[in-house]
Amino acid sequence: MTDTNPLYTSLSVSDADESQVVITGEIPVEAALTYKRQALKSLGANASVDGFRPGKMPEEMIEKRMGEERVWNEIASFAVSDAYPKIVVEKSLKPVGRPQITLTKLVPGNPIGFSMTVGIMPEITLPDYSAVSKKAIASVTETEEVTDADIDEALLSIRKNHAHAKWHQDNPDTHGHDHDIPETDLPEMNDDFAKTIGDFATVADLKIALKTQVASEKKYKLKEKRRVSIADALVGKTPFAVPPIFIESELGKMTAEFEGNVRRMGIDPMEYLAKVEKTVDQLHAEWRPEAKKRAQLQIIINAIAEKEKVEIDQKQFDREVAHIMEHYSDAKLENVKAYVETMLTNNRVFEILEGEEKAVVADAK
């Protein structure tokens, strides 16, 4: 379209809630009519009339058969779809997801009115994320130190698990039932019992192995707590409106996680929901605050990754993708690649925030 015959006129772009904009405008009649042949071809592609093969019906016959309103609606669909990317470029928008398009005026032979609600990538101002993360890490008071009490707790857990397993062997008809076993009925922790646990000659050997295991578990849990603290702090220090499409995407992931967890318990998700008297919509309503927080955090992480120029290791990326595809052969390769890229990028950003590399907090001069 030239300036003398524009594709759209009366264009207006206004801000809406939740990092969205509303675009309104009109498609002039002259511009709309340039899509008529394309619209008739589309409508006639599957139309079948005696004497004509599908897609071979004359345009005049298609227009008469389909009716003026239907043809104009098809014209509007092509014209508005063509206008959208041009508007995005003209207005320098950064859209996310598909626009919600409403035709506000649709009278054959008249300008076509449209309204588009478009999610846009929010502009965020990152805080001094290095300082924020350092403070968040310091707020976690737990340590990786393994105490005698930790070892005693681990030994008690082993005795309880052994007693429960034996109880179920002796009472096979009560599988799955919970029950309490008094500590006085638990097996005594001595060298003979230690030998039944694994390749241990004495309780002392078992304690050495437990200390290593407990230390590893405490290190992992501490790392997770620190990362949760960092995430909470970053979200709290970086307020911005989250586009609904990101929240819906996180709700979809949470739903998939929920269904996977329930199925692993051998229960159909719908049967589980019926048992707890809840619907998917009710779950989504409960999860929405967490979904919004997840979406907000991911946008922040992406911004930090861009600023830090984070690059993932290609060999590690290939290994992770191959591992997942080996175990989930039905998964779409594109989705797996996107998941692995996000996972590795997020992990690298957290490593930077944890101080493995000095984070850049000021723009390059």
Q: What is the pLDDT of residue 183?
A: 82
Which residues lie across from 32 on neighbouring strands? Answer: none
Backbone angles phi, psi at 334, to 5 degrees: -65, -40
Q: What is the pLDDT of residue 175?
A: 56
Q: What is the pLDDT of residue 177?
A: 56
Q: What is the pLDDT of residue 63?
A: 85
Sorted by sequence, the CB contacts under 8 Å of residue 195 that are 6+ apart come out as 201
CA–CA gap between residue 78 and residue 31 (Å, rounded): 11
Strand pairing report for 20-27 and 112-120:
antiparallel
Q: What is the dihedral of CA 268, 270, 271, 276, to 10 degrees?
A: 120
| Chain mean position to CA 236 | 20
Q: What is the pLDDT of residue 359?
A: 45
Q: What is the pLDDT of residue 363?
A: 42
Q: What is the pLDDT of residue 342?
A: 95
Q: What is the pLDDT of residue 171?
A: 76
Q: What is the pLDDT of residue 360?
A: 46
Q: What is the pLDDT of residue 213?
A: 95
Contact of 320 with 340, CB cutoff 8 Å: yes
Residue 350: other Cβ atoms inside 10 A:
18
* Regions of the chain short of the pLDDT cut 50: 1-3, 358-365
Which stretches within 265-313 are classed as H helix? Answer: 269-275, 280-308
